[in-house]
């Protein structure tokens, strides 16, 4: 998942026989709810505009989300300001007059960029992608701890995506009236965040992360507490009064999205940031913002693709455990040196 310069920080800003029944029913439920609505784009009965209240607004919003113009989790009948702004972006890209009103020409342009919504998408019961992938053990430990807090999991905090964890996720989803599934997507993760506390690093891990690489430090990194980022070496270190506490590989901006080098200070921290400005929702766990809206954070895209991708300016880590540990070591006002 490629990450970005956000225009403003979003926070963005989730037993027993009964569970067995829910799990056994999951495949058929998914098959029913993911069936595409018949036909192509529903013909417009009337223009859709700001403050319109109509079921067709749901189809509009789903299609805008598919086309990466509208970064929302749930859709609704109401045509609000976010929808209007998304329509204007679509009209600009399609070479249409930028009115924010969905007429037939705008509708046709959107239909060419999207597919018919499923019934599940229209009713906010579709199963989205994992918030962080289940093969990331640091995230799985945090997930297990939070599920344990919520009373949905009784197993060990091991980081293993095992059967007990799968059942606990399905139990949690059915508890909050979502289809049973082993996927912890944003729609199920956000309510879990709201009903549980953030685990401490020591709740999840027995020791600090160990370094398996080295970095040649800039002289500015040898005093005080500082995150030292070398773009040339593709490395990031946390240094405390000259002592390197850890070093890890890091990834930076795609061509054309480079952010500034220099000395900065952390001005904002948030462990559950989700970027929305590029038309899709991109999780940025354990974000440390240091240069306007440029941050250090965990990146699933970096974990998945390595250096085949890049950010929209941010400095990324691909180890969730390291990102969480670093988040607890620093505070607002600490220095970040990028060179």
Q: What is the CATH number of the domain that holds 189?
A: 1.10.101
Q: Which two tokens stand for residue 62?
A: 């789903």
Single residue among 122, 146, 179 that ends a domain in this structure: 122
CA distance 181 to 23: 7
State residue 314 phi and psi, 5-degree precision: -75, 165
Based on the domain organization, do 238 and 308 belong to the same domain? yes
What is the rounded radius of gyration, in angstroms, for the C-alpha atoms of the chain?
Answer: 22
- In terms of DSSP bridges, do strands 282-291 and 294-298 run parallel, antiparallel, or are they unpaired? antiparallel
The catalytic position among 145, 221, 228, 314 is 314
Q: Where are the alpha helices (DSSP H) in the chain?
A: 17-33, 55-66, 81-93, 104-112, 119-122, 137-149, 163-175, 186-195, 201-204, 300-305, 320-329
- With contact defined as beta carbons under 8 Å apart, do 227 and 259 qualify? no
Q: For position 40, what pLDDT does the model report?
A: 66
d(CA 109, CA 69): 13
Residue recorded with tokens 């070496």: 233
Give pLDDT, residue 227.
98
Active-site residue, 145 included: no
Quick check: 237 and 247 in contact, CB under 8 A? yes
Range of the domain at 82: 35-122
Q: 312 an active-site residue? A: no
DSSP-derived 3-state class of residue 151: coil
Pair of tokens at residue 54: 């109509």
How many CB atoms are closer than 10 A to CB 91?
A: 21
Report yes or no: 75 and 121 within 8 Å, Cβ to Cβ. yes
- Do 45 and 145 lie in one domain? The reply is no
The pTM assigned to this predicted structure is 0.84
* Structure token digits, residue 235: 């490395």
**Active site residue: 145, 271, 297, 312, which one?**
297
Are 199 and 310 within one domain?
no
pLDDT the model gives residue 235: 98
| Same domain flag for 234 and 296 | yes
Sheet holding 335-338, edge to edge: 243-249, 235-240, 225-230, 335-338, 262-265
Q: Is residue 8 part of a domain?
A: no
pLDDT by residue for the chain (339 residues), tens only, comes to 444 433 333 333 333 333 333 333 333 333 333 443 433 677 898 999 999 999 999 999 999 999 999 999 999 999 999 999 999 999 999 999 999 999 999 999 999 999 999 999 999 999 999 999 999 999 999 999 999 999 999 999 999 999 999 999 999 999 999 999 999 999 999 999 999 999 999 999 999 999 989 999 999 999 999 999 999 999 999 999 999 999 999 999 999 999 999 999 999 999 999 999 889 999 999 999 999 999 999 999 999 999 999 999 999 999 999 999 999 999 999 999 999
Q: Do 66 and 145 lie in a common domain?
A: no
Based on the domain organization, do 301 and 333 belong to the same domain?
A: yes
Q: CA 188, CA 175: separation in Å to the nearest integer?
A: 10
Q: Tell me how many degrees the CA angle 143-280-83 measures, rounded to the nearest 5.
A: 120
Domain count, the chain: 3
Both structure tokens of 261: 């080098």
């Amino acid at each position: 998942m490629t990450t970005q310069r956000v225009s403003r920080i979003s926070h963005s800003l989730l037993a027993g026989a009964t569970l067995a029944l829910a799990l056994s029913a999951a495949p058929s439920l998914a098959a029913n709810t993911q069936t595409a609505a018949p036909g192509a784009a529903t013909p417009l009965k009337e223009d859709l505009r700001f403050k319109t209240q109509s079921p067709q607004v749901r189809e509009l919003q789903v299609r805008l989300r598919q086309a990466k113009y509208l970064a929302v989790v749930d859709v609704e009948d109401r045509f609000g300001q976010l929808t209007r702004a998304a329509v204007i972006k679509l009209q600009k890209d399609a070479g249409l007059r930028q009115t924010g009103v969905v007429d037939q020409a705008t509708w046709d342009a959107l239909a060419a960029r999207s597919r018919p919504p499923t019934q599940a998408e229209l009713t906010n019961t579709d199963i989205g992608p994992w918030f962080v992938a289940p093969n990331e053990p640091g995230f799985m430990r945090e997930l297990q701890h939070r599920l344990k807090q919520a009373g949905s999991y009784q197993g060990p905090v091991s980081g293993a995506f095992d059967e007990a964890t799968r059942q606990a996720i399905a139990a949690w989803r059915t508890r909050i009236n979502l289809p049973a599934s082993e996927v912890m997507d944003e729609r199920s993760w956000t309510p879990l965040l709201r009903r549980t506390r953030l685990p401490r690093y020591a709740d999840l891990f027995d020791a600090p992360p160990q370094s398996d690489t080295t970095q040649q430090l800039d002289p500015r990194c040898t005093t005080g507490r500082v995150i030292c980022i070398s773009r040339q070496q593709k490395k990031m270190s946390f240094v405390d009064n000259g002592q390197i506490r850890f070093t890890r590989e890091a990834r930076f901006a795609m061509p054309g999205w480079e952010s500034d080098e220099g000395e900065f200070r952390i001005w904002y921290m948030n462990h559950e940031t989700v970027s929305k400005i590029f038309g899709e929702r991109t999780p940025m766990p354990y974000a440390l913002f240091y240069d306007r809206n440029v941050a250090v954070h965990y990146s699933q895209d970096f974990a998945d693709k390595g250096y085949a991708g890049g950010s929209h300016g941010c400095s990324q880590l691909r180890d969730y455990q390291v990102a969480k540990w670093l988040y607890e070591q620093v505070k607002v006002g600490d220095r970040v040196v990028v060179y």
